[in-house]
Structure 1
Amino acid sequence: MHNYRNEGHEHPASWYAASATLDQPRPPILADRTCDVCIVGAGYTGLSAAIDLAAKGYDVLVVEANRVGWGASGRNGGQVVRGFTKGQDQIAGWVGKEDADRLWNLSVDAMDLLRERIDSHNIDCDLTWGYIHAAEKESHLTDCRETFEEWSRYGVEDIYVMRPDQIRERVASPRYIGGFYDPGSGHLHPLKYALGLARAAETAGATIAEHSQVLTLEDYDKPGPVKVKLATGATVTAKHVLLAGNAYLKGVAQEIEGYVMPVGTHIVATETLDENMARSLIPDNEAVCDLFFVLNYYRRSPDNRLLFGGRVSYSGYDLPDVSKHTADKMRHVFPQLKDTEIEYSWGGYVGITIKRVPHLGKIGPNTFFAHGFSGHGVVLTGMAGRVMAEAIAGTAERFDLMAKVPHAKFPGGRLFRTPALVLAMTWYRMRDLL
């Protein structure tokens, strides 16, 4: 359960898998075939692109190594967060103010797209609005004030910096001295959302093949069709390829591997709590995250559990007793849960970039990629899939905008970049403790 790298080909034993209606396995690709677009990865990015491309009449094949939503799309914390991990001033320093403003507007469009997908395809994924960034020390409150000022410049309404009494009314923890309230972000059931997107893609005309792991790409750096070699022995020949495997794409495209780092994250779900106890923790049912660099995040589930997660491994290796480590952090935030049992425990990878914003681009004339959503994937993946679909259909303006952010590889190459990141994260962890 705690092996981030490989938990088999079925969904991990998470609360998400236990509370969702899973589809029957989709058949793998066993014979050679052709298509207009081959999408690698049946997560949010790939499925979003598949919906749009199939609706435009393209012959779309999505190949997934395991099951729909098996990776980060079906394991994440479910936080629906607007904007980017980095602030707009930092983004403006990379691309200029005009393009930074356009990227902000694109992030707003991404949130609208998520709502549109859920509404138009009747996806039952427990979407709930309200989000709290919880401050545990004065430097966190400074971050809250800066975010408030920045978002206010973009016309965001109904946000506010929380006083101590205001956060105590919304989060029953002694840890916090304030926070930032955002009614326009929220949370959902991530696996239900992924499954809903898959059904919408199939309704639009796309084909999804599970248990169809991609081994290599051939001819992707040349004009013309790309050959996608599968572990089943079959070859898919496609006019266009979209790489949407994010942190789980290791070995398929080594040119871009160094730009994203798989970071281990872990979530525990408590036993079902008394309804009054569950409601007392977060009375208005917002999603909450703290403002540490190595952050924690949590929310209530519809069946009165607390789902609590955090980043626990930057090394690619499992921590000893990672469930206890995560549960201890939960009880640090909520001492009233000291005797509460943990019923589900699961982990996975989130892909981060050095700049903590998504990395989009092309590795060949007809081969696109998107990865490194850095904690904002529930919202931004949908837009990444859409802009890649737009580019294939001949309108690349928004794709080019997202691809304009300059990215660098993690230092040290394949052998040394993980130890380098561990050292950096140790420094940030020490800073969090100050």
Structure 2
Amino acid sequence: MGTALVGAALGQDVFTELVGQDEAAETLRRAVAAAAALLADGGPAPAGGGGSPADGEIVADTGTAADDGPPAATGAMTHAWIFTGPPGSGRSVAARAFAAALQCHHGFGCGQCPGCHTTRAGTHADVRFVVPDGLSIGVGEMRALVLRAASTPSAGRWQVLVIEDADRLTEAAGNALLKAIEEPPPRTVFLLCTPSTHPDDISVTIRSRCRLVSLRQPPAEAVARVLTQRDGVPEKTATWAAAAAQGHVGRARRLAQDSDARKRRDAVLAVPRQLTGVGACFDAASALIAAAEAEAEAAVADIDAAERAALQTALGAGGTGRGAAGAARGSAGQLKELERRQKSRATRAQRDALDRALVDLAGFYRDVLVSALRAPVAPVHTDVAALAEAAAQKWSAEATLRRLEAVLTCREAIDNNVKPRIAVEAMMLTLWRG
């Protein structure tokens, strides 16, 4: 029996990567089995427009099981999906696992075959991942991706387009995607990831034509178990990191393995003790923003340098032959466009870093509130539980709640494009005053 089939017998597949998402994983397994059954029967009929099965939805109604997979349920497979859930719930992990399973040579997502391996590595010829560097996904990029996704699969299975941040689609890009979803090619599958299905995140018209997979925040115990079993993190460290990350698997892994990430968190949790006056509030705001900028700069520096070097080489930088001067003059526009994209990516990275800090800060005030109310729930930041207890004795529950709301309001303001410095300074003043 091959390695892939052994994994199937043991209940192991690409969906075992989803932490604490058993119901969603089972839904996706049924869809993969239905998709495999469709291919075994000769493939889906050409799809038309609209959102019902009769109007072009890829639907299986075989009542049979794919090899080594769960039974194919009626209507288990469709051409467009939305993965939604809180940060860290595994939206992109679920979408990538589903894409790999659709390309699996064994039809269930074994995780070992070339189809699974290349999809998970991001090198499969029929799978495109859209991971925006900047603040939005433009219409030009989306039209090109939709056009490419409409081609016949080179491997004979599916064309898959995975948009990991569908909430960043511009209105025009969303309209381009909507037309493709309304009139899908017969073997193209669209996988969209978004924090929620609110109209501000993704349009109602797109949502109405997609099947929803809702993910939940994984319990800390499940996250700790993954860190221990898959990453070899000591149990005590894994338990602490899982609680501090508030169910965010990637964040928990960074805290457990990266000393710089732990230092940044410690600096954030020291903020409440530093707010002794108006001047201290502004100093704390400046320090928080500077730390986010430094973290973002370090994250994108190597990528920016590599992109610039590659573009300069492609444009003939350093050339001395005939026409070199003219080529250099003509490259100015392309270099300016690269700088624009890199600036947008840096802004996004800064906001993401700042948001992680705000989540840690919100967790602290949540712990203070829990302590004040004597609620029977575990703290988020177990290593500063004594500080939270001391704050609970000093502040009223109402004042603590106002502080927590100030942090959440700051996150929302930055998400709505308020200047980070203005939003953070206003938050710090509220945290000081209570």
Say yes or no: TM over 0.5: no
Higher strand share: 1
Larger radius of gyration: 2
- TM (normalized to structure 2)? 0.23
- TM (normalized to structure 1)? 0.23
